[in-house]
C-alpha cells in the first residue's frame, strides 16, 4: 500500500519517536496613539510585521515535501477608538476598531493534487471589534468582541486591585 492515508492494523508502529522543534514567528510592531486634552477620547493605530516564513523552515510533514511549501511574512494593521465618559461614576468606556488579518496559510508550490488541496492559499480577513468597560475604584470589568467572516471571539475580563 502507498499514499498519505496508509492505514495499518491497530497497534502497528509506523515511526519511532523523534525530537522536533517548531519555530514561532517573530512580530515587530509600531504604534501611535492620540489622547484628547480632556482624556476622554483615545485613537490608536498599530502596524505589526509578522515573520511567518520562519515556520516553514521547521516544517516536518510526512505528507508533503517541505521544500514545496511556503508561507509569506505579512503586515497586520490595527485601528481603534475608545471613548470614556469621565462624568459618570463608575467610569464607562466604549471601544471600537478594525484590523486586517493577512492570509498566513501554507501554500503548496508543487504539482501533487492532494497536497494542492491540503495547502491551499487563503484570503485576507477584516475584523471588526467592539467593547465596553466599567471601572470602579478597585474593580474593573471589560467585555469585548472580535467579529470576522471566519470566527467571532468574545472576551470578558475582571480586575480587582487591592
- Name the residue among 44, 33, 47, 34 with its Cα closest to residue 77: 47
User: From first to last of its 162 residues, what are the pLDDT tens digits of the chain?
Assistant: 455 555 666 666 666 666 667 788 999 999 999 999 999 999 999 999 999 988 877 777 666 677 888 889 999 999 999 999 999 999 999 999 999 999 998 888 888 888 888 888 899 999 999 999 999 999 999 999 999 999 999 999 999 999
| pLDDT of amino acid 119 | 83
| pLDDT of amino acid 3 | 53
Continuous segment of H or E residues that includes residue 53: helix 53-56
What residues does each domain of the chain span?
27-160
**Alpha carbon distance 1, 89 (integer Å):** 71
| pLDDT of amino acid 22 | 75
Neighbours of 63 (CB within 10 A): 13
Amino acid at each position: 500500500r502507498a499514499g498519505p492515508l496508509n492505514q495499518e492494523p491497530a497497534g502497528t508502529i509506523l515511526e519511532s519517536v523523534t525530537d522536533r522543534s517548531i519555530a514561532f514567528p517573530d512580530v515587530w510592531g509600531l504604534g501611535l496613539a492620540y489622547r484628547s486634552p480632556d482624556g476622554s477620547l483615545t485613537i490608536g493605530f498599530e502596524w505589526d510585521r509578522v515573520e511567518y516564513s520562519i515556520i516553514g523552515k521547521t516544517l516536518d510533514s510526512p505528507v508533503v515535501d517541505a521544500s514545496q511549501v511556503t508561507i509569506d511574512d505579512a503586515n497586520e494593521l490595527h485601528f481603534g477608538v475608545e471613548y470614556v465618559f469621565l462624568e459618570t461614576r463608575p467610569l464607562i468606556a466604549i471601544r471600537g476598531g478594525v484590523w486586517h488579518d493577512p492570509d498566513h496559510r501554507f501554500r503548496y508550490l508543487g504539482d501533487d493534487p492532494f497536497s494542492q488541496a491540503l495547502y491551499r492559499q487563503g484570503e485576507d480577513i477584516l475584523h471588526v471589534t467592539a467593547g465596553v468597560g466599567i471601572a470602579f475604584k478597585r474593580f474593573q470589568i471589560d467585555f469585548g468582541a472580535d467579529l470576522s467572516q471566519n470566527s467571532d471571539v468574545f472576551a470578558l475580563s475582571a480586575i480587582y486591585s487591592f
